[in-house]
């Protein structure tokens, strides 16, 4: 039998897979092979496929965010719409982790190990949400969804510093702020299973954002960039969304944001007191 593809080539293969079940199973198999020492990273390889778009199923239909629809917690369908939206975010997060893993050569091996961990955990999150969605009488793809997260991935495909700055530590970090109130709504509506899934996601997302923060700071130091001014320049250049509170200050601290950045959020007057911001 031929030896398995190297890690980054496997990541590209998984990225292009359209079936969500096969994709998530492929990520798990890739992680197992890597941890067993059955494949290497091949960090210097230049892989064909830089123009590739992620593999996706035919559904859900992708629409502008304003057309996704309202999600009332008073009905099973409303809760299903919310769980579906969360599942779509996690499916996109699998793809962005795979893209970060395969696209950028020449990084230390730990970078690729970190993004393999992210891809594996995001695939697990998607599987949990997709399974729970079935208990609500729906499947992934039953509702429309938007593509805002992947749009920034596409914009930053040629700039690893911008990718680390604007995807994990900007767009994904918004999940740290959004999950606690969503969890409270689901719990109040009686969907304790969904609330428990969000507990798992929040725990893991803190680690994912920390990975983005750590590699962003590494790249800034390597290239002689000042992190805060570089971030502001990149956010302007790539038209990143303007961050608005409230912010989950404690989760952001655990995820590696500097105290200066946390003070900056507070100085903007956009976050509530820390205790309420971090409470689920």
Residue 267: its pLDDT value, please?
A: 66
Task: Provide the domain limits for residue 27.
Answer: 7-42+67-278
The count of domains in the chain is 1
Residue 57 lies in a domain: no
Residue 24: its pLDDT value, please?
A: 97
Residue 148: its pLDDT value, please?
A: 80
Q: How many secondary structure helices (H) and strands (E) does the chain include?
A: 12, 0
Q: What percentage of the chain exceeds 70 in pLDDT?
A: 90
Residue 271 lies in a domain: yes
Residue 84 lies in a domain: yes
Residue 54 lies in a domain: no
Beta bridge partners, 62, equal 145
Q: What CATH number does the domain containing 240 carry?
A: 1.20.1260
- If we measure between CA atoms, which residue out of 45, 30, 153 comes closest to residue 89? 153
Residue 279: its pLDDT value, please?
A: 29
Q: How many degrees, rounded to 5, is the angle at CA 233 between CA 106 and CA 174? A: 80
Residue 245 lies in a domain: yes
- If we measure between CA atoms, which residue out of 161, 165, 43, 159 comes closest to residue 107? 43
DSSP 59-89: -SPB--GGGS----TTSHHHHHHHHHHHHHH
Tokens of 22: 């096969």
Residue 63: its pLDDT value, please?
A: 83
- What letter would DSSP give residue 240? P
Give the model confidence (pLDDT) of 193-244 as tens digits.
999 999 999 999 999 999 999 999 999 999 999 999 999 999 999 999 888 8
Residue 101 lies in a domain: yes
CA–CA separation, 196 and 71 (whole Å): 19
What's the pTM? 0.90
Residue 42: its pLDDT value, please?
A: 85
Residue 49 lies in a domain: no
Which residues fall within 8 angstroms of residue 65, CB to CB, at 6 or more apart? 146, 148
Compute φ and ψ for 66, nearest 5 degrees: -70, -15
Residue 249 lies in a domain: yes
Residue 145 three-state SS: strand
Give the model confidence (pLDDT) of 19-34 as tens digits.
999 999 999 999 999 9
In this prediction, the residues of the chain whose per-residue pLDDT falls under 70 are 1-4, 49-52, 67, 69, 266-280
């Amino acid at each position: 039998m031929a030896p398995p593809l190297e890690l980054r080539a496997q990541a590209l293969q998984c990225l292009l897979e359209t079936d969500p079940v096969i994709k998530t199973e492929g990520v798990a198999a890739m992680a197992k092979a890597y941890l067993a020492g059955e494949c290497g990273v091949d960090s210097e390889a230049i892989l064909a496929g830089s123009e590739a778009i992620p593999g996706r199923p035919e559904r859900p239909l992708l629409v502008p965010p304003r057309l996704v629809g309202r999600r009332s917690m008073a009905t099973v369908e409303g809760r299903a719409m919310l769980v579906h939206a969360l599942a779509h975010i996690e499916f996109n997060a699998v793809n962005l982790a795979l893209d970060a893993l395969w696209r950028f050569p020449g990084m230390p091996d730990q970078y690729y190990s970190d993004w393999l961990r992210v891809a594996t955990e995001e695939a697990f999150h998607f599987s949990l949400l997709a399974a729970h969605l079935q208990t609500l009488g729906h499947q992934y793809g039953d509702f429309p969804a938007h593509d805002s997260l992947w749009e920034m991935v596409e914009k930053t495909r040629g700039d690893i510093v911008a990718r680390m700055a604007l995807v994990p530590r900007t767009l994904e970090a918004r999940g740290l702020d959004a999950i606690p109130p969503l969890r409270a709504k689901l719990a109040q509506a009686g969907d304790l299973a969904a609330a428990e899934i969000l507990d798992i996601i929040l725990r893991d997302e803190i680690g994912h954002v920390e990975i983005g923060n750590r590699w962003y700071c590494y790249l800034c130091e390597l290239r002689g960039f000042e992190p805060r001014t570089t971030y502001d320049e990149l956010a302007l250049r790539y038209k990143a969304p303007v961050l608005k509170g409230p912010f989950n200050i404690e989760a952001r601290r655990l995820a590696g944001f500097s105290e200066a950045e946390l003070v900056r959020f507070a100085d903007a007057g956009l976050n509530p007191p820390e205790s309420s911001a971090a409470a689920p």
